[in-house]
C-alpha cells in the first residue's frame, strides 16, 4: 500500500479525485453495484469520463472509453474501483480496457468481491496502481458490506442527549437534534435504499422519513416499519404516498397477519417467520428485506429496534448524533432498550458538526 502510494504523482491524485466525484453522482442509485467513476487521460488531457448510473446500465469504464474513442490508445484510466472481469448484465470492463489500448490504470480501491480484474489487467501488460484510498473505500462501503451477505448493509442513526437519552419521558415525542442535525440525516438517507423505524417510533414521532429537498433518483426509496407488539395506524405520515418512493413496507411476524391486514391498501406487508409467530426474528426480517431487493438500510430508531438489531448482529455502521443537552433524570428514555449487547465492537471513525450537535460515526462488528 505504502509502495503503491509512492507510485502516485500529484497529478494522479487529482484525476483520482475527479473519478471519485464522478462516482458520487451514482450514490444511492447503483445497488447492488457500487458507485464508480472513471476518467481517461491521454498526454495530460482528459479525453473521456463516465460513471455508473444504475444496475443494468453501462459501467463507468466503457462509458469513459466510448467518449475517448481512438484517443484511449496509450492512455491512462483513473477509476475509483478496480475494474471488473465479471460477465454480469454487462461485459467485463477489463476486456474493454485491454481492447481500447489503455496502458496504465490507477484505481482508488480493490474490489472486495471476487469480480475484480486486477490480475487480468496485469497479465495483459497494463501498469496497474491501486491507491487503496480511504475516500475510494468509503464510496464502496455499502457495496462491500452487502455484496457477500444475505442481508442489507445496515446503518443505525440515533439522536441523543449527552447523557444518552432520547426523550424526557418514555413514550413521549421529543425532538433532540437541531435543524442542522435533521438536515444532515435527510442527506444521509440519499445513500441508502431504505429508511427504517420501529412501529413505536412511527406511532410516537410520526415521521415522514423522506429526503428533503426532494432528490430525483433511479431507484425508488423504500420506507420500512418493523412491527411487533405495537399496533399500526394507516393514518401515520410514513404511509403517505410520495413521488420517488416505493409503497411503505411493513415487516412483521406471521402472527400479526390478521391484525395488520387493514394496512394492505397503503403498505407492502412482508410477514416473516413461522405461522402464528408473535415475535419478529430480526435476522430473518433483514434477510426478507434483502430478498425484496433492498441492499442497504438506514435505521432511525427507536431504542427497542436499535438494541434488537445490535443484539442480532445486524448493524454495520452507526451515526450517533449528540445534542448539547442533558436530562439526567431516571424517567428519561434511554437510547438503547435491550439486554445483552456485549458482542458488539465499535470503532469511532469520524466526528462531524451539525449545527450545535456532533455526529459521531463508526463501524460496528461482532465477536
Binding mask 33-72 for its own copies (x = CB under 8 A): ----------------------------------------
Three-class SS of residue 73? coil
Asked if 150 and 119 touch (Cβ cutoff 8 Å), the reply is no
Phi and psi, residue 361, nearest 5°: -130, 160
Asked if 310 touches its own copies (CB under 8 A), the answer is yes
CA distance 366 to 340: 12
Nearer to its own copies, 107 or 307 (CB): 307
The CA distance from 359 to 32, in Å, is 27
Phi-psi category of residue 356: left, alpha or beta, with phi > 0 → left and psi -120 to 50 → alpha? alpha
Closest by CA to 34, choosing from 96, 116, 91, is 116
Q: Which of positions 311-350 make contact with its own copies (CB under 8 A)?
A: 311, 318, 320, 322, 324-330, 334-342, 344-348
Query: Cβ closer to its own copies: 184 or 327?
Result: 327
Cell readout for 73 is 490508445
Q: Which of 32, 91, 164, 255 binds its own copies (CB under 8 A)?
A: 164
DSSP assignment of 293-316: T--EEEE---HHHHHHHHHTT---
Nearer Cβ to its own copies (252/336): 336
264 has catalytic annotation: no
**Rounded Cα gap, residues 2 and 69, in angstroms:** 34
The one catalytic residue in 2, 13, 21, 61 is 61
Minimum distance, C-beta of residue 355 to its own copies, in the bound complex (Å): 10
Nearest distance in Å: CB 330, its own copies: 7
Among 23, 160, 250, 280, binds its own copies (CB under 8 A): 160
Q: Which of 77/155 has CB closer to its own copies?
A: 155
* Closer residue to its own copies, CB minimum distance, 288 or 315: 315
Residue 266 or 360: the one with the smaller Cβ distance to its own copies is 360
The CB-of-306 to its own copies minimum distance in angstroms stands at 9
Q: Packing angle between helix 10-24 and helix 60-68, nearest 10 degrees?
A: 120
> Which residue is it, cell 406511532?
203
CB of 283 to its own copies, least distance (A): 18
Which residues neighbour 249 within 8 Å (Cβ) at sequence distance 6 or greater?
194, 222, 223, 224, 225, 267, 268, 269, 270, 289, 292
For its own copies, the binding residue among 307, 309, 312, 321 (CB under 8 A) is 307
How many residues touch its own copies (CB under 8 A)?
Answer: 39
In angstroms, what is the minimal distance from the CB of 251 to its own copies? Answer: 21
d(C-alpha 55, C-alpha 85), whole Å? 16
- Give catalytic residue positions: 61
The binding site for its own copies (CB under 8 A) comprises 160-165, 307, 310-311, 318, 320, 322, 324-330, 334-342, 344-348, 351, 356-358, 360, 362
Amino acid at each position: 500500500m505504502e509502495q503503491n502510494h509512492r507510485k502516485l504523482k500529484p497529478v494522479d491524485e487529482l484525476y483520482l479525485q475527479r473519478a471519485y466525484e464522478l462516482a458520487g453522482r451514482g450514490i444511492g442509485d447503483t445497488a447492488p453495484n457500487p458507485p464508480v467513476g472513471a476518467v481517461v487521460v491521454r498526454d495530460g488531457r482528459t479525453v473521456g469520463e463516465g460513471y455508473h448510473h444504475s444496475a443494468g446500465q453501462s459501467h463507468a469504464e466503457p462509458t469513459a472509453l466510448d467518449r475517448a474513442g481512438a484517443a484511449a490508445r496509450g492512455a491512462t484510466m483513473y477509476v475509483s474501483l478496480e475494474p471488473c472481469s465479471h460477465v454480469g448484465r454487462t461485459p467485463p470492463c477489463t476486456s474493454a480496457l485491454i481492447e481500447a489500448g489503455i496502458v496504465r490504470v490507477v484505481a482508488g480501491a480493490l474490489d472486495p468481491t471476487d469480480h475484480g480484474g486486477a490480475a487480468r489487467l496485469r497479465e495483459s501488460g497494463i501498469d496497474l496502481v491501486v491507491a487503496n484510498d480511504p475516500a475510494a473505500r468509503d464510496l464502496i462501503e455499502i457495496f462491500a458490506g452487502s455484496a457477500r451477505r444475505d442481508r442489507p448493509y445496515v446503518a443505525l442513526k440515533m439522536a441523543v442527549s449527552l447523557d444518552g437519552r432520547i426523550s424526557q419521558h418514555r413514550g413521549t415525542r421529543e425532538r433532540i437534534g437541531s435543524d442542522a442535525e435533521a438536515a444532515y440525516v435527510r442527506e444521509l438517507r440519499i445513500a441508502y435504499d431504505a429508511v427504517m423505524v420501529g412501529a413505536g417510533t412511527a406511532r410516537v414521532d410520526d415521521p415522514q422519513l423522506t429526503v428533503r429537498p426532494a432528490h430525483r433518483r433511479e431507484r425508488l426509496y423504500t420506507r420500512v416499519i418493523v412491527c411487533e407488539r405495537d399496533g399500526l395506524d394507516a393514518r401515520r405520515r410514513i404511509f403517505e404516498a410520495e413521488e420517488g418512493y416505493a409503497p411503505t413496507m411493513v415487516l412483521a411476524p406471521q402472527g400479526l397477519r390478521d391484525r395488520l391486514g387493514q394496512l394492505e391498501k397503503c403498505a407492502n406487508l412482508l410477514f416473516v417467520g413461522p405461522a402464528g409467530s408473535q415475535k419478529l426474528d430480526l435476522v430473518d426480517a433483514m434477510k426478507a428485506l434483502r430478498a425484496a431487493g433492498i441492499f442497504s438500510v438506514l435505521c432511525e430508531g427507536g431504542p427497542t429496534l436499535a438494541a434488537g438489531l445490535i443484539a442480532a448482529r445486524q448493524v454495520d455502521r452507526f451515526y450517533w448524533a449528540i445534542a448539547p443537552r442533558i436530562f439526567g433524570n431516571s424517567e428519561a428514555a434511554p437510547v438503547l432498550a435491550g439486554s445483552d449487547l456485549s458482542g458488539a465492537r465499535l470503532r469511532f471513525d469520524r466526528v462531524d458538526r451539525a449545527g450545535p450537535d456532533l455526529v459521531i460515526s463508526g463501524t460496528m462488528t461482532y465477536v
